[in-house]
Structure 1
Amino acid sequence: MPNVLIIGNSGAARECYWILRDVLESAPGLADYYTFGGFFDWQGYTGDLKELQHLYLGSVDAYTIRPEDMFVIGIAKPELRGKIFTTLKGRGANFMNLIHPWTSISRTARIGEGNIFQRGCTIFCNAVIGNANYINGAANISHDAQIGDFNFLAPYSIVLGGASIGSLNHLGPHSVVLERSVVGNSNILAPGSTLYKGCRDNCRMAGNPALRVGGRRDACQ
């Protein structure tokens, strides 16, 4: 019987818990098939689980991973998602794709492991999504778009057809990556921005059209 464990002990982790509850209530038998083990912190972070505090298990560093464990990274920050995924994979961990039942994913889309899809997301045909991305509420990933690893897509963000996004990026709410744009790694796209052609690495982009407002001077285009 798979045992679901959430890494994180604050707001994003609580969101993941309630996604999981919706999943377990969406189909007969799921609640009898999966168990929920609890929440771990990452490197001693003092979180806020509120009414779920009784489900806190301590630090994942001290936990012995078992074959039946399925981990969910309930932390939004891309850099931490990457570190947690890489570290726990090195210890033999398996990761669950946590998909809200009100999200729609095309049968032809290809998805890695450890991704989170909040309520109301739409993933269209032939999209490719890597590992440990957090796709927040009502985000839209269009046909043939490619998403790397450890990205955070905020609510109502849109990635249009044929666009390519690397890893460790943060897309703000209502941001748009237009068709065939190419985005590198470790970028931040401000809320409401529209990216027409793309950017390289380590850029902060804002506006319509989105222009560089920060980052290494030699890193952005």
Structure 2
Amino acid sequence: MKQLLIIGARGYGREIYNLAQNCIGYGTDFIIKGFLDDKSEALDNFPGYAPILDSVEHYQIQKDDVFICALGDVKYKKKYSEIILAKGGEFINLIHETASISRNAILGNGCIVSRYVSISCDVRIGDFVTFQVFTVIGHDARIGNYCHLNSYSFMGGFSEIGDMVTIHTKGVILPKVIVEDNATIGASSVVVKRVKAGITVYGNPAKKLEY
């Protein structure tokens, strides 16, 4: 039986702890061993969770350990996942039992697919991608590594996002539109044309957000 360690014991880590218990393979392929977090008291006011075993930096990987990264910020997700990868750690996918994934869609490693997510045919998804509840991905879409798609986000057919892209709640990317690496799509925004790397867009239609 694989022993799952959750990277991050804050709010999102607690969400993933609960999600994991309703994911495919829980209790048959894996159980939850605990959390990794440098804030050892993060769960002090939250009874009923598995323990925080160590920090990501100091944890020594054991036989049968597997990992999932429960960090919402794509920069930190990449940073801490790479620390575990450098130690030889293995990441698994967490796929909720209510998610709908077409048989010929391809997912990388370390992905989180939450409740009622719909992933259509011929979609290609990289490593360490998070899909929050009710996300919909249209046919032939392409998703890079370390992306985070928040609840009710949508990608149309043949749309594409690069690495480390964040789509906030109810963000929409229209069919065939491309979003380049490290871009951020604001909540309730509708992306109608290409988004350049590293910028934040917001609104309907989505435009570059200036601070």
Report which of the two has the higher share of helix. 1
2:181 maps to 1:185: yes
- Residue 218 (structure 1) aligns with: none
Q: TM-score, normalised by structure 2?
A: 0.93
Q: Which moved more, 1:61-70 or 1:202-211?
A: 61-70
1:33 is displaced (CA, Å) by 3.9
Amino acid at match of 2:42: G
Amino acid at match of 1:193: S
1:214 is displaced (CA, Å) by 3.0
What RMSD in Å do the two structures reach over aligned CA positions? 1.8
1:58 is displaced (CA, Å) by 2.3
In 1, distance between residues paired with 2:197 and 2:210? 11
1:167 is displaced (CA, Å) by 1.1
In 2, distance between residues paired with 1:12 and 1:181? 29
- Residue 134 (structure 1) aligns with: 130
In 1, distance between residues paired with 2:31 and 2:152? 31
1:173 is displaced (CA, Å) by 0.7
Q: 1:112 aligns with which of 105, 108, 113?
A: 108
- Residue 6 (structure 1) aligns with: 6
What are the equivalent positions in structure 2 for 1:1-221 lying under 5 Å apart?
A: 1-23=1-23, 30-41=26-37, 43-44=38-39, 47-48=42-43, 50-52=46-48, 55-214=51-210
1:202 is displaced (CA, Å) by 1.2
In 2, distance between residues paired with 1:20 and 1:185? 29
1:54 is displaced (CA, Å) by 5.4
- How many percent of aligned residue pairs carry the same amino acid? 29
Q: Secondary structure at the match of 2:21?
A: helix
Q: How many pairs were matched up?
A: 210
1:169 is displaced (CA, Å) by 1.3
In 2, distance between residues paired with 1:57 and 1:155? 30
In 2, distance between residues paired with 1:169 and 1:128? 15
Q: TM-score, normalised by structure 1?
A: 0.89
Give unmatched runs, 5+ long, in structure 1. Answer: 216-221
Amino acid at match of 2:11: G
Amino acid at match of 1:70: V
